[in-house]
Structure 1
């Protein structure tokens, strides 16, 4: 079953320190050793500064190219190598948890994974997750197949909480948090014994489809509206001024309008003088 790790460590470390620690380990395929070292991920999650620094760095890179990430909800790889990856996942609030928008943010889809990963709550109240267990030895992973499951847990991934998910057999579904939440993941490569990553009908436990990785760049701008500082505003303004793609400039404007409502008139005036008719018409129609 999914394992909740009991840990109350209060020490803080930097992202680079955690990456160096993981790179020095020779036992990342040994689950017991990974669980015994889970306190190090908790120490990273205790550092409430590093992720905002990372987000602002990503915004700086947008001026050069579109930042691409995979999986939904919005996520960002903090580090990746052949043996592990460190990923931050953004859980955005959603007023209608059963809507298409909620699905696009990763909510309400009952699924498993084709890799093991350790996760820790980092910021915000945490998303709700319901976990079921299946016997991977008795399934083939084909669409239309019905699997036997057993309820395991209904819980919140609150700050500092550690959970280890096993490939194929730990089936779970997430629901929107009350406010922006962030989790930090230690992810391992696809397991050689893993089946296809699947979505399930939670009423019948029939496999409905296979899940493919998805790419998103808009998540970075969505998060900037909710989690930002002065550097964030500076980067967004630079993107609105200089980025070569009109759609990216428009996303920066929308984020700035959300962060700086007192500057609405100046921002709309600036958008109204944009070189692209797409941007000019978009803001004229939205704020006329």
Structure 2
């Protein structure tokens, strides 16, 4: 369950003054702020009823130029400020289930009904409206997602805490790898404001989509740009394959080790070679690589065994 942060009535502050206040906060060894230190400034900004409309109008006048260049979240999010590698400020728009946006794009476009944790700390406050509703969970007493290996289908020690809404003025601290929530649409259009911790290492931290019914990992949803680059490089340069093999053996991020393993598999000539590759990786010293390799090899068995493949096809044509 996110940590409730006291948000007593405060005087409204201008957005520029808010940024000055955040820039003056203490930094950790990586230069990142602790979002909970931003509570007084965020509480004051939430009392300013004009700044967000003004920011949106300014964006519209430039055809949303800064959103197109700096916003990787899509139209639900308005990026308000980014201090690269330090922190970011955003406004999240939460349409109701009967609003046109949800009817046109579907609830999943707004991450409704998709339980997940986060790989960064952030402080949020309800800015207007009744607020999105969340079913809150965690990984059990004192646990975080470090208890997981991280492969799809892995059991999650999920503990339900409560269902509640991020109503106007409510302030919560979401903790990386600890707090899990499944969001549902608000009763009417709502907006929240976030101060998000940013650091160069965040892309390497795991974030998961969780199946709360089966209490299992659906899949990791964090991703580093290097994973995409390596997936391409292995096809065009021998150095790319050499680097991928090095990453499989020793990269500090287990997710990158598995991405490198899959990149190498994509260069192999046939299913039999891929099967052999993944079978060998079942003995990896990386728990994630070993678990994923065993599952992948098992999925390739029908492709590598002509008799099993024929049997599978016959069963599909002549089911009992």
Q: Same fold (TM over 0.5)?
A: yes
Which residue does the alignment assign to 1:201? Answer: 211
Which residue does the alignment assign to 2:153? Answer: 144
**Secondary structure of the structure 2 residue equivalent to 1:80:** strand
Q: Post-superposition shift, 1:185?
A: 0.2
Which residue does the alignment assign to 1:131? Answer: 136
Q: Post-superposition shift, 1:38?
A: 1.0
Whether contact under 8 Å (1:119, 1:164) holds in the other structure is yes
Compared CA separation, residues 192 and 141, structure 1 to 2 (3 A): farther
Compared CA separation, residues 190 and 140, structure 1 to 2 (3 A): farther
Aligned residues: 213
Which residue does the alignment assign to 1:88? Answer: 91
Whether contact under 8 Å (2:210, 2:218) holds in the other structure is yes
Which residue does the alignment assign to 2:79? Answer: 77
Q: Cα RMSD (Å) of the superposition?
A: 3.0
Whether contact under 8 Å (1:115, 1:191) holds in the other structure is no
TM-score (normalised: structure 1) = 0.66
TM-score (normalised: structure 2) = 0.60
Q: Post-superposition shift, 1:93?
A: 1.3
Q: Post-superposition shift, 1:34?
A: 4.4
How far apart, CA to CA, are the structure 2 residues paired with 1:142 and 1:99? 33
How far apart, CA to CA, are the structure 1 residues paired with 2:112 and 2:162? 17
How far apart, CA to CA, are the structure 2 residues paired with 1:54 and 1:208? 37
Which residue does the alignment assign to 1:16? Answer: 16
How far apart, CA to CA, are the structure 2 residues paired with 1:98 and 1:151? 29
Higher-RCO chain (CA-CA 8 Å, sequence separation at least 6) = 1
Aligned with 2:123 (options 115, 118, 121) = 118
Whether contact under 8 Å (2:95, 2:190) holds in the other structure is yes
How far apart, CA to CA, are the structure 1 residues paired with 2:66 and 2:197? 27
Whether contact under 8 Å (1:12, 1:47) holds in the other structure is yes
Which residue does the alignment assign to 1:271? Answer: none
Compared CA separation, residues 26 and 129, structure 1 to 2 (3 A): same
How far apart, CA to CA, are the structure 2 residues paired with 1:66 and 1:31? 23
- 1:155 and 2:158 matched: no
Larger helix fraction of residues: 2
Give the 5 Å matches for 1:199-278. 199-211=209-221
Whether contact under 8 Å (1:112, 1:199) holds in the other structure is yes
Deviations 1:156-200 (A, max 9, x none): 111111000011121111111111111000001258487422111
Q: Which range moves more in the overlay, 119-128 or 35-44?
A: 35-44
**Secondary structure of the structure 2 residue equivalent to 1:67:** helix
Q: Post-superposition shift, 1:6?
A: 2.1
Whether contact under 8 Å (2:131, 2:191) holds in the other structure is yes
Q: Post-superposition shift, 1:31?
A: 11
Which residue does the alignment assign to 2:189? Answer: 180
Give the 5 Å matches for 1:98-113. 101-113=106-118
How far apart, CA to CA, are the structure 2 residues paired with 1:32 and 1:121? 21
**Secondary structure of the structure 2 residue equivalent to 1:16:** helix
How far apart, CA to CA, are the structure 2 residues paired with 1:162 and 1:54? 22
Runs (4+) off by over 4 Å: 28-34, 63-66, 96-100, 190-194
Compared CA separation, residues 35 and 188, structure 1 to 2 (3 A): closer
Q: Post-superposition shift, 1:42?
A: 1.1
Q: Post-superposition shift, 1:26?
A: 1.7
Whether contact under 8 Å (1:121, 1:157) holds in the other structure is yes
Which residue does the alignment assign to 1:275? Answer: none
Whether contact under 8 Å (1:98, 1:108) holds in the other structure is no
